Structure 1
């Protein structure tokens, strides 16, 4: 039966070459079998349904879970344990770990809690994946939760849905600070010699490389001539090396695997499943095969599925007489084989054309088997019983983290090739006892694993005890050395402390004297400074008193001046306003004096001219009279009316000058009242000038209430309030603050146009401001200084609405307002 794999015949030559060169499990599953049937998963629960998947579907789900684990921070070499029954989810998770070069560590979920935690610790797991159970009190779920908490593992869960396939739940927990690809793909480089699986055995944990598992699978396929579309049932669980080997071999050959589902392998259900899914071969343990034989004997063999072969994989053989009965009942040959985890589950096998009942067969391709005396490490002769040792391309190199177990099992012997060259060959003792006959068939007669495990444990305990004793001895010697050193150090320390104490006392005395001297010096300086400060304070107080008196005198004089000017409550005004009013009054008085002098001067000149004219007229009249008397002795009529008219004109001019003077003084006082002393009911007086510097100005009284009434008539204005402000040129100017109606459109040009259409020019406000609302009870003076006034240039043109109609109003006809 040994030879090239028949499934290769149907492939192109390039694919054949690639498959024969398979060295890592990253290359499985193969996409070239895309449409071929890959897995049929019988339900794991009584309520579940059967699911069938092709190779391409498995490929896609493996790719998805692999990406999810890389996203969660899983890097090559990370040990990821999983504890779950044989299921489709377990297969996907296993191949996903192979894809990202992580290390798979299958754990037997049936172990008790203590053994379960020890197995996780032995394999060095960082992550534990288990099925997502519906019941939080599920036994396996609790076992995984407790183990993860105790060993500080990431507790993830896996499940499958009809629509999305296999899903990995990481619960937001990652193995690192970020995704595995955050730093690039530099870590994703896989050497075939790197570890793929940590498999537990009776002696210890066996690390199996990618190359070893690939070589074992290729040898398995070649030995049993597996072909594309051949179907088998995965009877051994995945925490058994034979389950892993069958899974890899089936996918490598493009075959089909049937998962037994709920309850695992069942002899009673096997034949129904075999017929339903066309199972052609089976690999199971001797006990499972005998159970199948017994169940087969109790049922009818009519229309039963015909198997190509059955492989028995275990450390014991079925008795030759019983094996013959089993083959007759199953109607198929049963090939017994042998393979421990150390040999990737495949070391010897019986074949169709070369078999011997009662033995486990001869070594498979790439494997050498010999029987050794482990005390002398010498190969025993034919048929002598000793310990079975294996060597070859898919044999492990050591046990994980156990030097004692490795030293007891791994050794080398000298060999000589056909050309006479010497070398060494590395052997791995399996722990089973057996013999090899003259034809090379291996028989297993027992095992020494328990004995070896006990010996290894005793060696480790002895080594640990020796290490502890050596550590205690060193600690005692170190303690003695420390004691001697401590005595010498204590003496030196005492002398040093005495010297330091004397030095400290000397320094302290010097420091005390220095501090005392500094204190006396500081006291002298402080006394002198206090005296100088007291003198300066007295001088400053006198100066402050004098300044205060002077200021009070000035304030009294200013109040008296304001009172004389007619200002009520002058003490309520602030200094700036009072000084501004006084300065304004002084300017007005100065202007008044200048005007009075000009008017009086003109009046005096006019009177002088009138007197001159009267005197000239009188003189002319006298001359005329005298001339008339001299000529004819008659008196002519003198024009007395002209003389009287000239006298009356001069008197009227003088009276007009005095009246103008009084009016100028009155105007100045009213301007001061309007600018600085107005209340809400007083008008503002605005001066109008012709532009001639020497001409008199005209004062216009502006009722602010009229301005407000006019502006409230504007359809866009809700509230209007007018106020006055000082102006150097005109004495005072009118301003107005408005609150727009909701949704109104308003601008300063529109407001000014409205004011000009209904108010005389002096009453038109110089500038408009807008406010969102008018403070209650605010005076005009407070309003003129309010920070709430906002320039209409920053107003958007609309008030709190999204859609505004155009103005629907027309300016009212002009209304006369008395100035």
Structure 2
């Protein structure tokens, strides 16, 4: 299959009458209709003076219109999706940072993004949904002439996202048409996606995981994606039964909620057999992977992704050995391990994970300092620490900025998570750093227990001590009904001690 390097070429592949975008209770939008919608959308933007590579901010509810707006606007401009849950001052910050040519919002849906855009003099375009899932028209704005009209080409910008910015001002990550098309192809190849596949999307569509792994890879393969309003653990199995997907992709916290309800929905699982399940965006504890495979009777494929790589970098294979605790084999870009001085390390050496390839961003926007730190000899430094094992599988040992430095020792929170997660009473574990006057940092852990289970802090510490060196055993364990999460469902390690009011 020849590789495509633009959204318009990617959209041209699906069979005209085959469903592309689906949503509960609505007629599907076919691949042919999606192509027509992209052509009309790009013409509308061109008529408003917006052309190739120019930014259009999107604030829409999760669902088929958001998926379609991303695909169709990105075909001839550069999309900048924002979290609809932001407050007005957050919208103002991101819009001022992005400097988009327009903001797209849905008619009849209240959002403070409108006021933020008006305050900055940014034109607002209203998306008016049609009958079919994802069909829409854009209204409003003022007429203009685009400097670079028509469909985008390989090096034109297609998507910009901010990094999560847990420890610093978020950076703008620009991704080209080539970057996102390459990533969709890599995911399709990893998962053997075909036109017969249907993905149930429960991920937020202002995030790289949902946009690329669920929506773009499905459309690129000529298959379909069912666009839901977002993740709802109570509704998941009903959607599974009604929509009959062949796969879904999610973050570990979502899988754990689904797993907790799997036993009482065993009949639904039997009636709607999935071909596979995919997990990404955070580390999945090995015991959870094994329990999911047992409950669903299909492979769970853990992948490793990040925004700067247009999502996927490595993945466990669909066929062949899936190693719990490893994020798999390189699955798209080249992957290597580098030391602080920029030397590539041999197999088994622990250092920073670095990548290069057609899906990797060319650099942060307007940030020469960040780019100087992030790129070494053409390799992008991911900020993750890890090693390539004897079989070439990538094992992550933690985010470099999340490693706990206790006295002279380094503790990988991921390693401690894995040990605590193996206790039969534990549903979820998150290891975090607690500031300590003498040692610098101490090891803490937040625990969510399984329904009806009981275990004491002492018992858990004793359990951990049987498998971990003494300095790695959490000195403080807090039991919570739920661990705080970020907007995309990721558990937040950094600053957790402060958030929970935990001291050493």
TM-score of the superposition, structure 2-length normalised?
0.73
Instruction: Please say if 1:343 is aligned against 2:309.
Output: yes
Instruction: Please say if 1:395 is aligned against 2:343.
Output: no
Query: Number of residues paired by the alignment?
Result: 394
Quickly say closer, same or farther: Cα 1:310–1:300, change in 2 above 3 A: closer
CA distance in 2, matches of 1:196, 1:449: 30
Instruction: Look up the SS of the partner of 2:235 in the other structure.
Output: helix
Whether contact under 8 Å (1:317, 1:359) holds in the other structure is no
Instruction: Look up the SS of the partner of 2:311 in the other structure.
Output: coil
RMSD across aligned positions (CA): 2.3
CA distance in 2, matches of 1:128, 1:440: 45
Instruction: Please say if 1:95 is aligned against 2:71.
Output: yes
Instruction: Please say if 1:329 is aligned against 2:299.
Output: no
Whether contact under 8 Å (2:53, 2:152) holds in the other structure is no
Alignment deviations for residues 204-239 of structure 1 (CA, whole Å, 9 cap, x no partner)? 111111112111111211111111121111222221
Instruction: Look up the SS of the partner of 2:225 in the other structure.
Output: strand
Alignment deviations for residues 436-481 of structure 1 (CA, whole Å, 9 cap, x no partner)? 2122211222213589xxxxxxxxxxxxxxxxxxxxxxxxxxxxxx
Quickly say closer, same or farther: Cα 1:386–1:32, change in 2 above 3 A: closer
Whether contact under 8 Å (2:339, 2:352) holds in the other structure is yes
- Correspondence list, 1:302-313, <5 A: 303-313=270-280
Instruction: Please say if 1:38 is aligned against 2:20.
Output: yes
Whether contact under 8 Å (1:431, 1:447) holds in the other structure is yes
CA distance in 1, matches of 2:163, 2:85: 15
Q: Which residue of 2 aligns with 1:720?
A: none
Quickly say closer, same or farther: Cα 1:273–1:253, change in 2 above 3 A: same
Quickly say closer, same or farther: Cα 1:165–1:338, change in 2 above 3 A: closer
Instruction: Look up the SS of the partner of 1:378 in the other structure.
Output: coil
1:32 offset after TM fit, Å? 4.8
Quickly say closer, same or farther: Cα 1:371–1:112, change in 2 above 3 A: farther
Higher relative contact order (CA 8 A, sep 6+): 2
Whether contact under 8 Å (1:89, 1:159) holds in the other structure is no
CA distance in 2, matches of 1:340, 1:64: 32
Quickly say closer, same or farther: Cα 1:407–1:259, change in 2 above 3 A: same
Q: Which residue of 1 aligns with 2:105?
A: 130
Q: Which residue of 2 aligns with 1:207?
A: 174
Whether contact under 8 Å (2:68, 2:135) holds in the other structure is no
CA distance in 1, matches of 2:62, 2:236: 16
CA distance in 2, matches of 1:259, 1:403: 38
CA distance in 1, matches of 2:314, 2:324: 13
Instruction: Please say if 1:113 is aligned against 2:88.
Output: yes
Q: Note the residue ranges of structure 1 that are not aligned, 5 or more in a row.
A: 1-15, 43-48, 413-425, 452-819
Instruction: Please say if 1:429 is aligned against 2:398.
Output: no
Q: Which residue of 1 aligns with 2:189?
A: 222
CA distance in 1, matches of 2:163, 2:301: 24
1:24 offset after TM fit, Å? 0.7
1:254 offset after TM fit, Å? 0.8
Whether contact under 8 Å (2:5, 2:153) holds in the other structure is no
- Correspondence list, 1:451-466, <5 A: none
Q: Which residue of 1 aligns with 2:157?
A: 195
Q: Which residue of 2 aligns with 1:667?
A: none
Q: Which residue of 2 aligns with 1:259?
A: 227
Larger Rg belongs to: 1
Instruction: Look up the SS of the partner of 2:68 in the other structure.
Output: helix
Instruction: Please say if 1:282 is aligned against 2:248.
Output: yes
Q: Which residue of 2 aligns with 1:21?
A: 3
Q: Which residue of 1 aligns with 2:79?
A: 104
Q: 2:35 aligns with which of 55, 59, 75?
A: 59
Judging by fraction of residues, say which structure has more strand.
Answer: 2
CA distance in 2, matches of 1:68, 1:394: 29
CA distance in 2, matches of 1:334, 1:276: 22
Whether contact under 8 Å (1:207, 1:398) holds in the other structure is yes
Q: 2:138 aligns with which of 168, 173, 177?
A: 168
Q: Note the residue ranges of structure 2 that are not aligned, 5 or more in a row.
A: 165-169, 404-504
Quickly say closer, same or farther: Cα 1:401–1:256, change in 2 above 3 A: same
Q: Which residue of 2 aligns with 1:70?
A: 46
CA distance in 2, matches of 1:200, 1:269: 30
Instruction: Please say if 1:158 is aligned against 2:127.
Output: yes
- Correspondence list, 1:679-698, <5 A: none
TM-score of the superposition, structure 1-length normalised?
0.46
1:58 offset after TM fit, Å? 2.1
CA distance in 1, matches of 2:228, 2:280: 18
Whether contact under 8 Å (1:39, 1:53) holds in the other structure is yes
CA distance in 2, matches of 1:118, 1:162: 34
1:129 offset after TM fit, Å? 0.9
CA distance in 2, matches of 1:369, 1:31: 29
Q: Which residue of 2 aligns with 1:146?
A: 115
Instruction: Please say if 1:373 is aligned against 2:339.
Output: yes
Judging by fraction of residues, say which structure has more helix.
Answer: 1
CA distance in 2, matches of 1:105, 1:353: 38
Whether contact under 8 Å (1:37, 1:229) holds in the other structure is no
